[in-house]
Structure 1
Amino acid sequence: MKFDMHTHHFRCGHADGNIRDYIEAGIAAGLQVIGISDHTPYFGEKEDQAFPRIAMGKSELVRYVQEVLELKKEYEGKIDVLLGIESDYFPDHVEAYRKVLTQHPFDYIIGSVHSVGGVSIFNKNRWKSLNEKQHIEVKEDYYRLIQDSARSGMFQILGHIDAMKGNYPSFSGIMTERILDETLQVIAENGIAIEINTSGKTKLSGGWYPSDAILERAFHFGVDVTFGSDAHKPERVADEFNQVAERLKTIGFTEWVYYKNKQKHGVPL
């Protein structure tokens, strides 16, 4: 069985195509399940669409939900269309996000940390003036936010848990094994899945999020895993699904999971 839990579309302002394009791409790729998971609005900001090239406006959320639910009905019997969303995790605005997201029938919510200390994790310039100690502090702050997101009870999946390496490949070499192991233990204890996200190939780091080394540690701690292409173009739907499945098997995983109605479903590898 093939599935892809992480796809975007035009509403976020930095993806191509509409929702139907991604569903059709999923069918063409042989998927049985496709999750639509565009970026949440910035609920902590006053403006309707505070960052038009990053996330949809608040006024678009209801239309987004309605469109996915309509397409779910239309494609019934051809492919299972799931209503998901990718939510930012901002500690100061957790309750604002929780209040809105609980009002809609999401099959699952992906929790992703995209900002540390008010700076995008993909901003490679943030590292230029930092010494070795500060590099470690930033990486630890990143993983503490991921821990907090796992404990929040808001999410079924955590998105791209080492994506801070995306535009700064040296991130992976910053020595913080203790905080990483601690983070994976917290994720396992809270019964949340991490995604293998193949969009890392579009960044300077290349490869997948997370790295094979992290996946091996995740297996050790009993963390569930799922698949997400993080497609921002329809042609990337299910990208490298088979390769990821084979790699997981070599690590020792025997199944991965997806979520429907916020219930976990295991899929043999």
Structure 2
Amino acid sequence: MKFDLHTHHERCGHANGTIEDYIVAALDAGLQAIGISDHSPYFGSEQDQPFPGIAMARSDFQSYVDEVLRLKEKYKDRIEVLLGMESDFFPRHAETYRDAYKNVPFDYLIGSVHQVGGVSIFNRNRWKDLNEEKQIADKVSYYELIQQSARSGMFDILGHIDAMKGYYPAFSDIPAHEAIDDTLRVIAHCDVAIEINTSGSTKDVGGWYPSDDILERALHFGVNVTFGSDAHKPSRVGDDFELVRKRLKEIGFSQWVFYRKRQQIIVPL
């Protein structure tokens, strides 16, 4: 079975194409299931869209859900359309986000940490002039937030768990193995999946999130994995799916998962 659980569209303000464009692209790519998972509104503010170009407006949330459900029905005989969302994780706003998602018929939620210490993980300047001690502290803080997101019980999947390397490839060499292993243990205990996210190929680091080293350790700790292209344009839907499947089998995985109505579905590799 071929699937992609991580796609965006024009509502977030930094992706191209409509939801239907991504569904059509999934059909063209031979997928059996396509997950729609645009960036959540920023529910930590009463403003409708405090961060235009980063996340959808609060006023777009219901129309987003309604559109995905309409297209799910329209395409039901051709491809399975799954209602998801990539949700930011901010500990201080976790309950507000949880309340916003109540009674929404999601198939899955992706929880992603996009900020550490109030600074974007993709900010190219955050590492300037930091000594090793401070670099280690920032990396540990990142993984502590990922642990909290797993423990929150809000999410089925955790997004791009080493994406801090996106515009700073040296991130992978910052020594924090214990923090990563602790995080993988927590993820396994909470029965949350991690995605192999192929959008790293569009950034300075190249390749995928997470690294092979993390995937090998994830297998050791019994962490489930899934696939997401993190496509911000329709042409990237399903990007590198077969290469990822091949690599996972080489590492030793025998299965991966997707989600339907918040239930984990096991798919043999």
TM-score (normalizing by structure 1): 0.99
Q: Distance in 2 between matches of 1:172 and 1:47?
A: 36
Deviation at 1:67, TM superposition (A): 0.1
After TM superposition, the structure 1 = structure 2 runs for residues 74-223 of structure 1, keeping only pairs within 5 Å, are 74-223=74-223
Deviation at 1:46, TM superposition (A): 2.2
> Would you say 1:240 and 2:222 are equivalent positions?
no
Q: Distance in 1 between matches of 2:181 and 2:93?
A: 27
- Letter of the structure 2 residue corresponding to residue 238 of structure 1: G
- Letter of the structure 2 residue corresponding to residue 13 of structure 1: G
- Letter of the structure 2 residue corresponding to residue 208 of structure 1: W
Deviation at 1:212, TM superposition (A): 0.5
Q: Distance in 2 between matches of 1:90 and 1:133?
A: 24
Deviation at 1:124, TM superposition (A): 1.6
Q: Distance in 1 between matches of 2:156 and 2:46?
A: 27
The residue matched to 1:96 in structure 2 has which SS?
helix
Q: Distance in 1 between matches of 2:46 and 2:191?
A: 33
List alignment gaps of at least 5 residues for structure 1.
none
- Letter of the structure 1 residue corresponding to residue 49 of structure 2: Q
Q: Distance in 1 between matches of 2:186 and 2:249?
A: 23
1:152-181 Cα shifts (integer Å, max 9, x gaps): 000000000000000110100000000000
TM-score (normalizing by structure 2): 0.99
Q: Distance in 2 between matches of 1:104 and 1:264?
A: 18
The residue matched to 1:106 in structure 2 has which SS?
coil
Stretches (4+) displaced over 2 A:
none
The residue matched to 2:34 in structure 1 has which SS?
strand
- Letter of the structure 1 residue corresponding to residue 38 of structure 2: D
The residue matched to 1:226 in structure 2 has which SS?
strand
RMSD value over aligned CA atoms? 0.5
Q: Distance in 1 between matches of 2:185 and 2:48?
A: 37
The residue matched to 2:66 in structure 1 has which SS?
helix
- Letter of the structure 2 residue corresponding to residue 25 of structure 1: A
1:212-262 Cα shifts (integer Å, max 9, x gaps): 110000000000000000000000000000000000000000000000000
Q: Distance in 1 between matches of 2:168 and 2:178?
A: 21
How many residue pairs match? The answer is 269
Of the structure 1 ranges 139-148 and 40-49, higher mean CA displacement relative to structure 2 is found in 40-49
After TM superposition, the structure 1 = structure 2 runs for residues 46-65 of structure 1, keeping only pairs within 5 Å, are 46-65=46-65
Of the structure 1 ranges 247-256 and 124-133, higher mean CA displacement relative to structure 2 is found in 124-133
The residue matched to 1:108 in structure 2 has which SS?
coil
Deviation at 1:35, TM superposition (A): 0.3
- Letter of the structure 1 residue corresponding to residue 162 of structure 2: D
